Amino acid sequence: MDDSKENKSQAIIEVIDFGPLKISGNFLLKDLKRGNEESPVEVKLCICGKSGNKPYCDESHKNK
Partner 1 sequence: MERNDSQFSGGRRYKNDDITVYWKPSACVHASYCYRELLEVFDPSRRPWVDMNGSTTEKIIEVVNLCPTEALSWKWNDESKNDSVGSDQLNHIKFRRPELMNSNEQETKEQPVSVKIMADGPIVLKGNFTLSYNGTKKEIHDSMISICRCGVSDHMPFCDGQHRKAGFVG
Binding site residues, partner 1, CB under 8 A: 1-3, 5-15, 17, 21, 23, 25-34, 39, 45-51, 54-55
- The Cα–Cα gap between 1 and 20 comes to 39
Peptide bond into 55 cis (omega under 30): yes
In the bound complex, what is the minimum distance in angstroms from residue 46's beta carbon to partner 1? 7
* Nearer residue to partner 1 within complex by CB, 6 or 64: 6
Please identify, using beta-carbon distances, which residue of 47 and 59 lies nearer to partner 1. Answer: 47
Using alpha carbons, select from 64, 62, 63, 44 the residue that is nearest to residue 54. 44
